[in-house]
Amino acid sequence: MSSAKRTLRRVIRDWLAGDATAPLLLRHCEVCGEKSWRPLAETVRGITIDARLPGGKRADAILTDAAGEVELVIQLEGGTKLENRIEPRAGLPLVVLRAATLEDEPHRWRTLREHGLTGWRCRCAGTRSLPVDDDFSLRVIGCPIHLRTDAQTEPGSAGRSLSRGGAGTLPGSPHSNDGQQFYARVIEDCGRCAFFVGIGYVGNDRRRIQLRCGYGAPPVERRPAVPAPGLGPNQRRQIVAGS
């Protein structure tokens, strides 16, 4: 067993025994870019190293609840020789940790990647999700402020539509009163829009593009981007670097 896995087991056992606080995960929203330290779920009751999963796959560690159900799969990057490890997008909640960083800060887990974890209130909270055409134009379908429609354009209008909502169009409606669909262009429009929150791939297969729009979000949710926590070297690394 590697030293990183021994560290994992010790940290979880100390926490469950009441001798330490819950380890913190550095969560990262790939859509809005916000990062936040979040404690492990209180439902965790055990840890298994080099675990066997259904289908013959393996995991460097799994955290389980009182019923033995998987709460979290932990895979290590470096510090492990385990073969046939479970794929990151197998459907189970999973985080990837760097083994060296885990040994430096055993109670603060800086996730390299995460998949299938329960959502948290990042800057996407309270915003609307809009689908994006993944063709060359990158059109956001259903623009709530009615920037463009797929109606016929005037000659010399540089491709900009005639309609800007029109009479009888409800604010936030994805279609105009004549049935035309509202949209916006990600680079030309959303990139300069005050309501733009973020864009990223979603779903287990990561093939669907989603944009988060803050139009209509409650004022309490319209907060600016939160600076990422400092990732500077700790004392141990500073001593090594200065020696």
Scan for tokens 């459907």, then name that residue. 91
User: pTM, whole model, 2 decimals?
Assistant: 0.68
Per-residue pLDDT of the chain (243 residues; tens, 9 = 90+): 788 899 999 999 999 999 999 999 999 888 888 899 999 999 999 999 999 988 888 999 999 999 999 999 999 988 677 888 887 667 789 999 988 888 888 999 998 888 888 878 888 888 899 988 866 678 899 999 888 887 644 344 444 443 444 434 555 566 655 567 889 998 889 988 989 999 887 766 667 788 999 888 766 555 555 454 554 555 544 444 444
> Quick one: pLDDT at residue 116?
83
> Quick one: pLDDT at residue 43?
94
Scan for tokens 């936040």, then name that residue. 36
The per-type count for the chain, helices as H runs and strands as E runs, is 3, 13
> Quick one: pLDDT at residue 208?
76
> Quick one: pLDDT at residue 216?
83
CA 216 to mean position of chain CA atoms:
22
User: Between β-strands 108-115 and 94-98, what pairing exists: parallel, antiparallel or unpaired?
Assistant: antiparallel
Gap between the Cα atoms of 228 and 111, Å rounded: 13
Which of 243, 198, 233, 228 lies closest to 111, judged by CA? 228
